Structure 1
Amino acid sequence: MFEKDKWMSIGEIVAPQGLRGDLRIKPSSDFPERFTKPGKRWIQKTDELPTEIKLTKGKLIPGKSIYVLSIEGVSTRSSAEEIIGWKLVIPIDSRPMLSKDEYHYHDLIGLEARSGPSKALIGYVTDLIKGGNDLLEIELVEGKKVLVPFVKEIVPEIEIKEKWLLINPPPGLLEL
């Protein structure tokens, strides 16, 4: 049986690179060694069990947020094309420990977004958009999606175990 909560996506195979089976990976992890250090990894097709693979080499493409990986057994462009859309995953219990005020992407998705002194439910976190300043995508209870800067001044409190975060948006932010 597929146990989705035991695995965490760290990237997606988005395209082949060249003719020798190399793969372009769009990362969803801030730990580059997951894409550059050779060793055991797993890939996963949607709703299937992960398949163990061996990463033989990996590098970041300069100026882009894309890694190019070589995987044992994937040696042609056509074999690379067969796994486009698959996820690169890790066992959730292998996540590194983080410092205070650092969070794993996987832990933020699905949190209740609350606001105001009463901490009223206003929506749910649906995505974290990486960039110069990270943004939380919040789907408000009325169905509209908004982007909220993921900074301490606007998101002052996060309770992972209780599955919620507090948002103190400046006037007008949730109406954009």
Structure 2
Amino acid sequence: MELVVGRVGKPHGIRGEVTVDVRTDEPELRFADGARLRAQSPRGSTFGHPALTVTRTRWHQGVLLATFAELADRTAAETARGVVLHASRPADETPEDPEEFYDHQLVGLAVHDLDGRRLGEVCALVHGGAQDLLTVRTPEGRDALVPFVKALVPEVDLESGRVVVADRPGLVTPLPDES
């Protein structure tokens, strides 16, 4: 299993150091010296490394700065801009906080409303700046995005394989025709 742990940002200085948009609650673990991260290049990128090896990290004004063995200078660092970093993780690893979940734990869960009616299934997650979004595939084959916040997703029950969504008209269920 893999999880997204960050995205390479702009170069910092001339020695190959880059900013990292952190996408993990455990940066000290995921970006430890020697960690090897799979590199997913954005479309159209000329970046040619399948993985990056962390040689050093430090925090600077609230931003994680990282040095990777494969990025020797600013020019190399510039080619890595936008690369998404993935870390391998043991299949049985779970987040420390019981209110947090890995994507693979949520994808495939049945989605029900507060009354127990099945609305669909979680088919993906979208990680946004403000909050994450559950992508719910409805029985009609439509994908609906549900903000993954406690007010709209009050219950996640991994053991029973379901999430409860406080559905609002138009959120997952279509609005009634007004014709």
Asked if Structure 1 and Structure 2 have the same fold, meaning a TM-score greater than 0.5 normalized by the shorter chain, the answer is yes
Is the contact between residue 16 and residue 77 of structure 1 (CA under 8 Å) also seen in structure 2? yes
Distance 2:7 2:57 in 1: 17
Tell me how many residue pairs correspond in the alignment: 164
1:25 aligns with 2:20: yes
- Cα distance, 1:75–1:49 mapped onto 2, change above 3 Å: closer
Structure 1 position 69, deviation (Å): 1.0
Query: Is the radius of gyration larger for structure 1 or structure 2?
Result: 2
Distance 2:97 2:55 in 1: 28
Distance 2:144 2:58 in 1: 35
Residues 86-108 of structure 1: per-residue CA shift (max 9 Å, x gap): 33222221846424333224533
- Cα distance, 1:98–1:72 mapped onto 2, change above 3 Å: same
Normalised by the size of structure 2, how large is the TM-score?
Answer: 0.67
1:129 aligns with 2:128: yes
- Cα distance, 1:118–1:73 mapped onto 2, change above 3 Å: closer
Is the contact between residue 2 and residue 88 of structure 2 (CA under 8 Å) also seen in structure 1? yes
Residues 16-62 of structure 1: per-residue CA shift (max 9 Å, x gap): 2232211122221112314664332323235x995351331232543
Comparing 135-144 and 6-15, the one that deviates more = 135-144
1:69 aligns with 2:66: yes
Structure 1 position 111, deviation (Å): 4.0
Is the contact between residue 15 and residue 23 of structure 1 (CA under 8 Å) also seen in structure 2? yes
Structure 2 counterpart of 1:155, from 153, 156, 169: 153
Unaligned runs of 5+ in 2: 42-47
* Aligned-pair Cα RMSD in Å: 3.6
Larger helix proportion, structure 1 or 2?
1
Distance 2:3 2:90 in 1: 9
1:93 aligns with 2:87: no
